[in-house]
Amino acid sequence: MISACGATEPSTDPQTELTSQRAAMVRQIEQHVRETAPYLGRETLNPRVVEALATTPRHEFVPPALIERAYEDRPLPIGNNQTISQPYIVAIMTDLLDLDEDCIVLDVGTGSGYQAAILASLCTEVWSIEIVPPLGRAAASRLDRLGYANIAVRIGDGFAGWPEHAPFDGIVVAATGEALPPPLLAQLKPGGRMVMPVRGKYGEILVVATKDENGAIETRDIMPVRFVPLTRDTAGD
C-alpha cells in the first residue's frame, strides 16, 4: 500500500488478521469464564480446550457474508433457522465434558461443524449427527475439505443417538430438550459425561449428566442458556 507521501505501508495479511482475531476471541472467552466461575465451578479452562479454540478456524464455519464477525463471542446464523453457537458456550460445554485424548464423543446437532472440529482436536473419534439434511451435507463436505479425518457426520435424529458406535466417553447436545434423552444416556459410557441444555420451569438450563460405574445418572445444573429446540424425526411415530 502506498501512502499519500509516497512511503510504502505494510499491508495486513488476511490470515494474520484472522489469527489475531481468534486470539482476541480466546482472551474474551477466558475473561467470561472467570466472570461466570460461580456457575461453572472453575475459573480457567483446560489448556487443551484453550488450544483447540486458538487453532480452530471458526471463520471456515460461518457463511461467507459473516466472516468479518466470525470471531465475535456471539452466535451467528448459518441458515435453515439454525445458528453456530457462541464460542464461550462451545468452550464451556467442551470443557465440562472433561475429555481425555483417547476418548470417543457423540456430537448431536452438527450445524456448521464447528463444535465437532473443536472436539476433533481433543479426541480420537467424533461421531456427529445433524437432522437438517442441507446443513449435514455441507458440514460433512466442509470438515472433509479442512482435513478432519477423525469426524464422521450423518443425517438423522440425534435423540436416538448413534448406538453402533456407543458407548461414548462424552456426549454434547447443541439443542434444548424437555429432558435428557434416555437413548443418549444409555449410550454414555460409565464414567462418561453428557452436556445438554434442558428446558425447565424457569427457562433453559445447561445440565451436566455423569454416569457412575453402576449406571446411575447424577445431574448438575450449570447456568441459564438459550439454544434452538431439539428437532425430532417423527415420521415413524
Question: Of the residues 85, 112, 121, 128, which is catalytic?
Answer: 85
Taking the C-alpha atoms of 156, 169, 204 and 47 in order, what is their torsion angle to the nearest 10 degrees?
Answer: -120
Residue 208 dihedral angles phi and psi, to the nearest 5° = -110, 125
39 Cβ contact list (under 8 Å, min separation 6): 222, 223
Catalytic residue list contains 85: yes
Active centre residues (catalytic): 85
